[in-house]
Amino acid sequence: MDHLSGAEQGMSTTMKLSEAVTKEELRELRKKSDLRALATLSWNWGLIIAAFAIAIIWPNPLTILAGIIILGGRQLGLGIINHDCAHHAFFKSAKVDEFVGHYLAGAPMNISLPAYRAYHLKHHKYAGTPDDPDIIFVKYYPVSKDSLRRKFIRDLTGQTGFRDTLRKIRNFRLSRNWPWLTFHILLLGTLTAAGAPWAYLMWWAAELFVYPAIVRLRQIGEHGTVADRSQLDPRLNTGTTIAPFWQRVLIAPNDVNYHLEHHMFASIPPYRLKRLHQLLSSRGYYDGYQCISRGYGQVLSRAVRGDEPGMVPAE
């Protein structure tokens, strides 16, 4: 990983975070909204229901494929809600966050909220150091075009998904994983009652063939294309991606693309991260840094070795 030039290092001292956003603004940004949290949760489950409904009502290869792609994005969406609840940054009530994060978001993806929280908080604590538990996912970026192609081929052909699913099955314990089992029983039962038990396979097709590729792309955008992963400044070790609407629907759900802002203030609810980004951008906090990507196409280009990212002006 190339180090910043002297000019860029100098720019890192030009503005402190406390100079870019006031305590009063942060107080407003930290306010949780049950309405907005419920809207996010409903949007995710609404898209999941719609993905199944479209394929069931108009069954043909195109609607089934579209449904599978949408499900893959919403599987990540549920994981992101689980993540936000783990930070107690979603609903006003911590108890509601615990229930929603564990049962309504975590269970379908077999994610335990307490176990995830214990793991994930280490990522925040050690970001920018060799002790970051997530560094293994991005430490070798940028990579060659052939390497990047092979990674996504493994994802899209199900190799990654089957590997991860077999791991889940091997580690299955009824006392621990019953919410995951319950979800699948309810999903299969509901689709059978709707006269389309075959649609249950759409969930698995999404998890095996689509979800891994979306997760990889998200990881690359968050920490794989940064200036220097060995630095503690989030502007150097974390990235944000300004994604158009279709990308937010399919591959970057629930404002997960504003990952840099999340690392600065993990207590700010996800539905207020865009506003934080706009404030910091308008005040020049990102000027001189390579931490903002314009869409996931640019994320992919930056992930390839030899394609110097160049400086991207903040929004």
Q: Is 5 within a domain?
A: no
pLDDT tens string, the chain, 315 residues long: the values are 444 443 344 444 568 998 999 999 999 999 999 999 999 999 999 999 999 999 999 999 999 999 999 999 999 999 999 999 999 999 999 999 999 999 999 999 999 999 999 999 999 999 999 999 999 999 999 999 999 999 999 999 999 999 999 999 999 999 999 999 999 999 999 999 999 999 999 999 999 999 999 999 999 999 999 999 999 999 999 999 999 999 999 999 999 999 999 999 999 999 999 999 999 999 999 999 999 999 999 999 999 987 444 434 333
User: Helix, strand, coil proportions of the chain in percent (round to 5)?
Assistant: 65, 5, 30
Is 292 within 8 Å of 286 (Cβ atoms)?
yes
The three-state secondary structure class of 293 is strand
Question: How many domains is the chain partitioned into structurally?
Answer: 1
Q: Is 128 within a domain?
A: yes
Contacts of 171 (CB under 8 A, 6+ apart): none
Q: Is 87 within a domain?
A: yes
Domain hosting residue 43, numbered range: 30-303
Q: Is 34 within a domain?
A: yes
Is 266 within 8 Å of 211 (Cβ atoms)?
no
What backbone torsions phi and psi does residue 143 show, to the nearest 5 degrees? -120, 175
Q: Is 13 within a domain?
A: no
Q: Is 14 within a domain?
A: no
Is 250 within 8 Å of 70 (Cβ atoms)?
yes
Q: pLDDT value at position 13?
A: 54
Q: Is 256 within a domain?
A: yes
Residues 65, 22: Cα–Cα separation, whole Å = 47
Q: Is 272 within a domain?
A: yes
Contacts of 176 (CB under 8 A, 6+ apart): 112
Distance spanning both ends of the chain, measured CA to CA = 25
